[in-house]
Structure 1
């Protein structure tokens, strides 16, 4: 099979076309050809193939159109060889076309040169195309290199050194980031930047890599001319000659200082407390693990933990603001560092909780002595906002062994001991023991069971009657929540109410009590016509964090419960906690008809100035005031004074804990309004309320 060639033939003589094709084939070519007979047909066809040559007749009509064909090829930048087929007598005339761009002229009566001319023109055409492609590629490559160099200089810090590491070139970015001028850098080596993060061994390894012609990449911390640090992500590219030896290095640097500073800040934030700068819990636990490991390996450096909590810290935030509280925490942290030993590891665990790890103390007794000395020194007054703040702190201790053998256990037990110390007496020290652990476990179990209690109908409400002494009627009751545990039996409110407050379950429990109180009011008052008022105790969490006012309004709207049939009881400590919040809530309740009682009066602040500011309906005197009261004693004078004071303020007085007839008679003589206690009745179930009222009224009628 011959060599393929694509030819466009401009000829209207079919015999001549036959001769051309036959000659090409006899010359060893395999022609792919098209024949056109006019310029319009040629104009379309010339773009259809990648033609190797155009064979054009010089006879009419083509003779007069040859300049048009040549001009068209030139205008369209089509590089196709044009070969004229001329008659012998026109040969001389057609030479003028050679000057216009025709590649060759062949005598149509003697086609022996046709194959040779076609192959020659095709070779030259291929050469021209390859040359153009190569030139275009080289031009583009040169342009790309120039752009890359420009971009490299603009976007990167670039330096070039010779084989010995002497700087031969730096761009402006290198000079700008280092603070050195170009003249100061040329002729120096990179040691002028005094890299501080690489050892001599590190640099030896880097040189071994790049001297072998391999690329090295890594992060380097250098020092600027002004002494400040900067970080660079550096790539060092070695260039080798024909003998494979390195003759220069190009180093491309990216300034990553901002990123490294951000990473350092993130690391600091992850392991240090932002307010005090002390290690946080995560880092502290890691340090404990290290000391435990060292102790196990060397049997020296006994790890002992002190968990320290500032007593009543919340009152500082509440009275002076969070900014003052933060300042107190910072000063407290500085004092811990000042008064602890130099090898102490100190942390802020969170809020007002701190911890200290020591390893030089040899016994728990010695640790207790250290803790008491430290707490005494921490008590020095702190001047804040014109006030002198006197702090006390409580501490819990756990030592390696009995206090745990793992970091998290050791710390947790120190915290347990600290909470135990606070529950006993503020400003004191407790050492962890197993009984504390068991108490915590018990409380956790109770708390977990309490979560299920409401859904499993274990929580219920009892009601204790309150006697109106003057009218000798039972109209008021106090709702008392109870819990019957399926295994433990009756759980004391003193045990589960604090746990409910800590866990937030007190919110659900209070709503439950309100709904049950509404059940009683519906049954006793709305259905059976016995006037009744039920008091519900409010915890601080329910009172401040939840809107008790809207709860009661909702209860009234949903169930038509009269506002006057509900009463809320708050403690002195709750009432005095934040008067600016307490007074509006109580005023709103009284405005809609809900009675407000101050419970357990005399066991909290007992401040008359505060009492005068509170919008109250009832004052309930704690049962402790009835102990050993006899006419003419100081206790009796105090009790009478409280009753008279309450009456002067417009409050009704209820005495709690009345268990004997003599106490009732005495309270009558003191003009007390109401009494509550076992003398009248223990708390009873809702089903017993109406029978109790009827029985009581029946007795009164008989007397």
Structure 2
């Protein structure tokens, strides 16, 4: 049988309630609890039971009502501890409630502190009730001091001083709390405890108040004999004689160290990174503002901001695991601190992003030199688990003025410069300039417009035919997505496809392309009886994160599209990214009749060694192979080798980018199966597909 405890719970998530009750029971409590979901039911319920605690969710609708609950308890003079059940990302926001009367915050994803907090708050609730009773008794029994001391000694830390503040009495609880013996304390002033949180002016005000016969209550941080801190909730009661002068003081103390440490931990978690101990983004921005203010007011300490990102850090986590990745981040943070001077302010912005604020450099050129030396130092090998890990990092710089005059702008522009550095070449340094910002704004505008493009019929699909050289037939086509912007006109796929992949819009765009390809297949093959197969390009996000296999099965079941009329094209980099995941997906597609083409073959770094490992139907040779191909050249021998190897593996070969009849004849002689390019046709609209097919075969008949 556990220790009984009565808890009123404000929560509308039954799973959270279950977790709370389970945690209490698992830690030796026997909860009597009731769950309410509205203020009206809470108002009625709060009076039904002598509750030990109230646990309130910070999610809506409760979050906006928390001040109402606190005000109600205050107005009705109901003393029940209030504990908030908060999401980790809301801790900083919910800290303000600690100042409004909330007793503690609990992470709903980590309830380890729940039982400890409940038992602590119940002890403090009992203490407050006992203390109120004791203080009332004290005021009513001023003439019975010895009796009062006895009552106080039973449950409180008590000390008595004379009119001059000299200690005349302490109980054993006081001696135990401070670490001093009773004999060491008698005859001393309270200054022996070296209160560290109050100034001389604070103590002057307190003495002026109690010397006038007024009761003082507050929190005091004292220092024990061993040098450690402890916090006490203290009430000082002055006693006056018949002439109205104070002749002694009784101080009643309650140890609140656990609660203060919990508050300090919450504050630390809100403003510091738990892994590296560095300030987080919120605190870093505040520090930047302070340095900017100092520079504006004194014209000294020129603020320069460095944003540093570890290149390809995901590779570390994927290959060595997250624990190893965390160790490397800690070492990386230490190297930043070791390299920087003591005045540098260093932060971890999140994941593998760090930033440094310096104020001792005089110009951007000095900042660039500093960054280059820093990156060189960060490149030193890191010993880990028997390996030596070599890292590179990219750095962006923004300085007060051109880089911005506000903290958030300065930091944002340093990050923009860092991303620019990574886009040029990893391990380099870039200084922010206006052109970078304009590029970012352009990309954001394009990305925002792209979100509307599908709904506004701005996205459409063109189709480029593929010629079967041996049979002289047009049976295969490639679907190519296009975007006609209402103001900018045609936007290059090279611009909007990467933005679509970054934003996740590539998923609905790919589904749109599949549906449009199905429309053409219906018109050409199902209605006209002309054989056709259309290839759709797949991005890594669609290929791995979405189930392309089920999309195609759904298209077949819903619209009767033959599996053999669809192809998917993947790039070398996508295919080799994770063979253990890639191969089963490709195999499933081929098993149902969908052809799989490897696009842009020859542009990757390990094409030949991986080609035989992939289940494919078609290999598409990148157009760059045709640029310098001449009969008898090294390029021609390489092209012939690729074609022969693909044939040996049972793959059909398509040559991309054919623009001249000489290239076509050369590919015929090399026994290439199919060609695609402007020699045959540019990509055309869907309504032109059938006329193109008829026109092509009409020419064949005339020849």
CA contact (8 A) 1:305 1:358 kept: yes
1:512 positional shift:
0.8
Q: Is the 8 A contact 2:572 2:607 kept in 1?
A: no
Change beyond 3 A, Cα 1:385–1:478:
farther
- For residues 280-335 of structure 1, the C-alpha deviation after alignment (integer angstroms, 9 at most, x for no partner) is 11111111111111111222221111111111222222222222222222221111
Deviation at 1:187, TM superposition (A): 4.3
- Which is worse superposed, 7-16 or 237-246? 7-16
Matched, 1:606 2:609: no
Deviates further, 575-584 or 14-23: 14-23
- CA-to-partner distance for each residue in 1:478-502, whole Å, 9 max, x for gaps? 1111000111110001111111111
Task: Give the CA deviation at 1:23.
Answer: 79
Residues 519-568 of structure 1: per-residue CA shift (max 9 Å, x gap): 11122112221222111111122122222222222222211222222211
Which residue of structure 2 aligns with residue 492 of structure 1?
492
Following the alignment from structure 1 to structure 2, what is the Cα–Cα distance between the partners of residues 138 and 437?
70
Contact 2:141–2:148 under 8 Å retained in 1: no
How far off its partner does 1:612 sit?
2.9
Bigger Rg, which one:
1
Distance in 1 between the 2:116 and 2:20 partners?
13
C-alpha deviation, 1:86, in angstroms: 83
Is the 8 Å Cα contact of residues 583 and 614 (structure 1) preserved in structure 2?
A: yes
Task: Report deviation, 1:160.
Answer: 2.6
CA distance in 2, matches of 1:413, 1:515: 41
Residue 604 and residue 151 in structure 1: after superposition, are their counterparts in 2 closer, same or farther (change >3 A)? farther
Identify if the C-alpha distance between structure 1 residues 566 and 211 changes in structure 2 by more than 3 Å, giving closer, same or farther. Answer: same
Whole-Å Cα distance in 1 between the matches of residues 31 and 121 of structure 2?
A: 15
Give the corresponding residue for 1:172: 172
Alpha carbons of structure 1 residues 223 and 701: separation in structure 2 relative to 1, 3 Å: same
Cα distance in structure 2, aligned partners of 1:102 and 1:589: 58
Distance 1:312 1:132, change over 3 A: closer
**CA separation in 2, counterparts of 1:605 and 1:525?**
39
TM-aligned CA distance change 1:678 to 1:213, over 3 Å? same
C-alpha distance after superposition, 1:215-266 (max 9, x if no partner): 2222211122333211112121112121111222222222221221122122
Change (3 A) 1:292 1:74: closer
- 1:83–1:293 Cα change, 3 Å: closer
Please state how far the C-alpha of 1:29 moved relative to its aligned partner: 67
Structure 1 residue 169 displacement after superposition:
3.8
| CA 1:670–1:385: 2 relative to 1, 3 Å | farther
- Relative distance call for 1:458 and 1:83 in structure 2 (3 A) is closer
Q: Distance in 2 between matches of 1:139 and 1:72?
A: 29
Task: Check the 8 A contact 1:179/1:224 in 2, yes or no.
Answer: yes
d(CA) in 1 for partners of 2:310, 2:64: 112
Comparing 65-74 and 613-622, the one that deviates more? 65-74
CA 1:516–1:133: 2 relative to 1, 3 Å:
closer
Tell me whether 611-620 or 122-131 shows the greater mean CA deviation. Answer: 122-131
Write the deviation string for residues 386-438 of structure 1: whole angstroms up to 9, x where unpaired. Answer: 33222111111111111111111111111111111111111111111111111
> Structure 1 pair 77/672, CA: closer, same or farther in 2 (3 Å)?
closer
Structure 1 stretch 238-247 or stretch 10-19: which is displaced more? 10-19
Q: CA separation in 1, counterparts of 2:627 and 2:105? A: 141
Gaps of 5+ in 2: none
The unaligned stretches of length 5 or more in structure 1 are none
Change (3 A) 1:556 1:145: farther
Contact residue 235 and residue 252 of structure 1 kept, 8 A: yes
How far off is 1:65 after superposition?
A: 70
Q: Distance in 2 between matches of 1:400 and 1:93?
A: 29
SS of residue in 1 equivalent to 2:337:
helix
- Contact kept in structure 1, 2:317 and 2:325, CA below 8 Å: yes
More displaced 10-residue stretch of structure 1: 142-151 or 400-409: 142-151
Task: Give 3-state SS (helix, strand or coil) of 1:613's partner.
Answer: coil
Q: Deviations over 1:467-488 (max 9, x none)?
A: 2222222111111110001111
Tell me the distance in 2 between the aligned counterparts of 1:608 and 1:107. 52
- Quote the Cα distance in structure 1 between the aligned partners of 2:551 and 2:432: 43
Partner SS for 2:288: helix
- In structure 2, C-alpha distance between the alignment counterparts of 1:605 and 1:538, rounded to whole Å: 20
CA contact (8 A) 1:305 1:398 kept: yes
- Farther-moved stretch of structure 1 (57-66 vs 281-290): 57-66
What secondary structure does 2:173 align onto? helix
The more displaced of 612-621 and 495-504 is 612-621
**Displacement, 1:124?**
49
Partner of 1:139, secondary structure, is: helix
Q: Distance in 2 between the 1:86 and 1:673 partners?
A: 63
Change in Cα spacing, 1:182 to 1:456, as seen in structure 2 (3 Å) is: same
Name which of structure 1's ranges 606-615 and 654-663 shifts more when overlaid on structure 2. Answer: 606-615
Residue in 2 aligned with 1:448? 448
CA RMSD of aligned residues (A): 26.2
CA 1:251–1:113: 2 relative to 1, 3 Å: closer
**Comparing 189-198 and 331-340, the one that deviates more:** 189-198
Compute the displacement of 1:110 (Å). Answer: 91
Q: Which residue of structure 2 aligns with residue 91 of structure 1?
A: 91
Aligned residue for 2:142, secondary structure, equals: helix
CA deviation string 1:95-141 (max 9, x = no partner): 99999999999999999999999999999999999999999999999
Change (3 A) 1:88 1:551: closer
Shift in CA distance, 483/58, structure 1 to aligned 2, threshold 3 Å? closer
CA distance in 1, matches of 2:485, 2:89: 130
How much has 1:88 moved relative to structure 2?
Answer: 95
For 1:171 and 1:333, locate their aligned partners in 2 and report how far apart those are by CA, in whole Å.
49
For residues 598 and 92 of structure 1, the distance between their equivalents in structure 2, rounded to whole angstroms, comes to 50
After superposing the two structures, state which structure 1 stretch, 504-513 or 550-559, moved more: 550-559
CA distance in 1, matches of 2:57, 2:389: 115
Q: Helix, strand or coil for the counterpart of 2:640?
A: helix
Q: Is the 8 A contact 1:576 1:605 kept in 2?
A: no
In the superposition, the TM-score normalised over structure 2's length comes to 0.77
- Deviation readout 1:183-234 (Å, 9 max, x if unpaired): 5544444333332222333323322221221122222111223332111121
Give the 3-state SS of the residue equivalent to 1:220 in structure 2: strand
